[in-house]
Amino acid sequence: MKTINSEHHLDLTKEDEKVYSTLNLGPTHPATHGIFQNVLTMNGETIVSAEQTIGYIHRAFEKIAERRPYYQITTLTDRLNYCSSPLNNIGWHLAVEKLLGVETNKRIDYMRIIVMELARISDHLICNSVIGVDSGALTGFVYLFEEREKIYEIYEELCGARLTTNLGVVGGFDRDFSPIAIQKIRDLMKELPKVLHEFENLLMRNRIFMDRTINVGAISADRALNYGFSGPCLRAAGVDYDVRVQEPYSSYNDFDFSVPIGQNGDTYDRFCVRQTELWESIKLVTNALDNLPEGKFNTEVPAFFMPPKEDVYSKMEPLISHLKW
Amino acid sequence: MEYSILLQELKNKFENSILSVDETADIFTITIAVEAVKEMITFLKEQHNFIFLTDLCGIHYPEEDKELGVIYHLHNLVANKRIRLKTFVTKENPQVESLVSVFSGANWMERETFDFYGIDFVGHPNLIRILNVEYMDYYPMRKEYPLEDATRSDKDDRFFGR
Amino acid sequence: MNEKDKYTVVEAPEGYSAPGFFATTLDKAVGLARKNSLWPLPFATSCCGIEFMATMGAHYDLGRFGAERLSFSPRQADLLMVMGTIAKKMAPVVQQVYEQMAEPRWVIAVGACASSGGVFDTYSVLQGIDKVVPVDVYVPGCPPRPEQIINGFMKIQELVGNEPLRRRYSPEYKEMLESYGIKIDK
């Protein structure tokens, strides 16, 4: 008895069933990165249909978040997309600021853009190098992970942690960018283009890579919209939609950047869209860092702001708000 | 396309089903009766271009009469407008029509809502648990069930302040 | 500088040597060979998996310790590295993968979630993989830094180097495996 997973599932008659074989691409497969299971119906080596089982990493974030204070939920959001934790943190802070009606000044917005684009660079570096690893090209992986180490060093300057960053507070940041951090960001933006060029030389016009990824996993724009795709996968399918342009948050509308769109929605298009977004992010970070305005690094929302230690030891209200955390 | 014009058209077509309108929240929200859900969403998708289902989730308000709710977020990409539809059902009779024929993405979202809240989607091709283990016999996100695993035997109450 | 000083080689175990031969116990010789050529199985489910990928990268190179060849098939692996949160749905899979590994096999639990459930004290997360498989080394951290993962790996190397050859056939070992519900082949 076959259960139906989608409207594209095949209804096989008894004779047909003898032609197709079943293969279990179990939950611990390296290409699925160990999180979901595919039971494949195959005709020789071509996959004809598949049925997925997910939930092997269900950690009940929503249930935990029901009973935590707002600032403790930031640590939970780190672990939602662990390849780019600051993006999740800042997304959560933006949501809480919307509820509170807090406006952040330009300096905080630009600092947030720098951090978010660094996280985007870090995430796309993983995605693109791992496409190479899954098809057997391990060299690109090793080169790009060296650049991620530099991004980790920048996170350590900003917040103290490498991967699960818990960066910032509601209303801004808890400390300003130090001169070391700014220097590290500038150095990285100078070096990243060279490494990206090397990586592109390795993979982008490589005959083997192109044969393995062009027309593989192609999704049309209609299907992508029907399924609710968003992000680079939707843009690779040909839909011109980027939240940063349509509903700008955190002063993205001050910047001029282009959004890459693909044509076929196959793996090669997704790879190229992410690669182009890397170049755009480098431009955004450099622009934001060059035009960083002066101002406070925190809007001092009363329940979420940690007062500086000199005030805590000498004045009454900072002492009270410090102990209330 | 203004929300007031949209609301007028919806009121003309579905007079009795719109229970309340809330424009103070960040997204234009309407609460509707459960019988009109599929028709209204199909109308919004085909006539007003709300072709993107951003989210379909459940919620549980234990103090209300109709405790369980399903919330739909729709998005019109061209005019950049969002709309939120809420519908509530009772615990004894949690039936809502399934949207799988309208949006393919609703398939897994409805399975998740069933898994966590126990809402039965009529017409869903494969309504089984998606994230939890198959032998689980309760609906974990309902407010009466605890967060922690009730069968744990190795927790020492002295260390946990109980 | 002398040519030999540029390279560090593995220390030879204790033994008696004279011109032409070097005598030591079989345990130590086999342990030396095994510990410098462990083939890990990276069972990476979440954030600790990304830190493991950083450990395998060029900066913190785990390949220096002989673990360059990652094996994704349990039949060819020595060391099961469980990294990341293991949910109750995944627990039978971890046990099945452990059963498929051939003796001698070791398990390292990387990260707080694999050691004890971590941040996630919920209905769906297994509170530590030592509920389903016997664990040799626990590496705490959320996520642990690559240096900590390497430290855990070096502790495993210590265990491997000092293990008596008859340990896996002893009745205490079989009893321990049965207490986890792990089926033994013989």
CATH code for position C88: 3.40.50.12280
pLDDT of residue A2: 39
Q: What is the largest CA-CA distance in chain A?
A: 85
> B21-75: per-residue pLDDT in tens?
888 878 899 999 999 899 999 999 999 999 999 999 999 999 988 999 999 999 9
Sign of the dihedral defined by the CA atoms of residues A203, A205, A211, A213, in that order: positive
What kind and span of H or E run contains A41? strand A37-43
pLDDT at A5: 42
Nearest to B147 among C88, C123, C127 (CB): C123
| Interface contact C89-B140, CB threshold 8 A | no
Nearest Cβ partner of A227 from B104, B130, B140?
B104
Per the CB < 8 A criterion, the answer to whether A298 and A321 are in contact is: no
Place of tokens 């997910």: A54
Given the candidates 3.30.460.80, 1.10.357.10, 3.40.50.720, 3.30.465.10, the CATH classification of the domain at B3-122 is: 3.30.460.80
A241 CA: distance to closest CA in chain C (Å): 29
Contact (Cβ atoms closer than 8 angstroms) between residue B70 and residue B106: no
Chain A: list its partners (3+ Cβ pairs within 8 Å): B, C
- Nearest-CA distance from A263 to chain C in Å? 31
> Where along chain B do its domains lie?
3-122
A64 touches chain B (CB under 8 A): yes
Q: Answer whether A261's CB lies under 8 Å from A224's CB.
A: no
Task: Answer whether residue C64 is part of any domain.
Answer: yes
Query: What pLDDT is attached to residue A34?
Result: 64
Residue C89, min C-alpha distance to chain A (Å): 5
Say how far apart CA B45 and CA A228 lie, in whole Å: 13
Lowest mean pLDDT among A3-7, A149-153, A212-216, A253-257: A3-7
Q: How many CA atoms lie within 13 A of A142 on its CB side?
A: 13
Residues A45 and A37: beta-carbon distance below 8 Å: no
Number of domains into which chain C is organized:
1
Annotation: CATH topology of A61-290: Cytochrome-c3 Hydrogenase; chain B (1.10.645)
Q: What is the ipTM of this complex?
A: 0.89
Using the predicted structure, report yes or no on whether residue C8 has a pLDDT greater than 80.
no
Q: Which of A14-28, A215-229, C38-52, C171-185 has the lowest mean pLDDT?
A: A14-28
- Encode pLDDT of A83-114 as tens digits: 999 999 999 999 999 988 899 999 999 999 99
Biggest CA–CA distance in chain C, Å, is 65
Name chain B contacts of A60, Cβ cutoff 8 Å.
140, 147
Chain mean position to CA A110: 19
For residues A196 and A277, the answer to whether their CB atoms sit within 8 Å is: no
Tens of pLDDT, residue by residue over C40-55, are 999 998 889 999 999 9
Helix (H, G, I), strand (E, B) or coil at A31: coil
pLDDT for C183: 82
C-beta separation of C101 from C74 below 8 A:
yes
What residues 126-185 of chain C have any CB closer than 8 A to a CB of chain A? 142-143, 145
For residues B137 and B133, give the distance between their C-alpha atoms in angstroms, rounded to a whole number. 9
Q: How far is B148 from chain C (nearest CA, A)?
A: 4
Mean pLDDT of chain C: 90
CA dihedral for A78, A84, A89, A92, sign (positive or negative): negative
Put simply, whether A33 touches C (Cβ < 8 Å) is yes
- pLDDT greater at residue C112 or residue A312: C112
Minimal CA–CA distance to B129: which of A3, C140, A294?
Answer: A3
The answer to whether residue A4 scores a pLDDT higher than 50 is no
At residue A15, the pLDDT reads 56
**CA pseudo-torsion sign A86, A88, A89, A95:** positive
Section A33-37 average pLDDT: 78
Answer yes or no: is C183 within a domain: no
| Chains with ≥3 CB–CB distances under 8 Å to B | A, C
In order of A21, A129, A213, the CA distances from A216 in angstroms are 21, 18, 5
Looking at beta carbons, which residues of chain C come within 8 Å of B142? Answer: none
Say if residue C131's pLDDT is above 80.
yes
The pair of structure tokens assigned to A108 is: 């905080």
CB interface of A with B, residues 72-111, below 8 Å: 98
Give the per-residue pLDDT at A262: 93
Chain A residues closer than 8 Å to C50 by CB: 82-83, 126, 163
Over the stretch A298-320, which tens digit does the pLDDT of each residue have? 888 877 877 778 888 888 888 88
The mean per-residue pLDDT over the stretch B87-91 comes to 93
Check CB contact of A55 with chain C, cutoff 8 Å. yes
What are the tens digits of pLDDT across the range B106-149? 999 999 999 999 999 999 999 999 999 989 889 999 999 988 87
Report d(CA B135, CA C75) in Å as an integer: 30
**Residue C78 confidence (pLDDT) above 60:** yes
Is the separation of the CB atoms in B141 and B116 below 8 Å? yes
Instruction: State the helix-helix crossing angle for A267-290 and A106-134, rounded to 10 degrees.
Output: 150
Bridge pairing between strands C79-83 and A21-25 = unpaired
Q: Which of A4, A58, A67, A235 to mutate to test the interface with B (most CBs of B within 10 A)?
A: A58
Q: Is a pLDDT exceeding 70 seen at residue B1? A: no
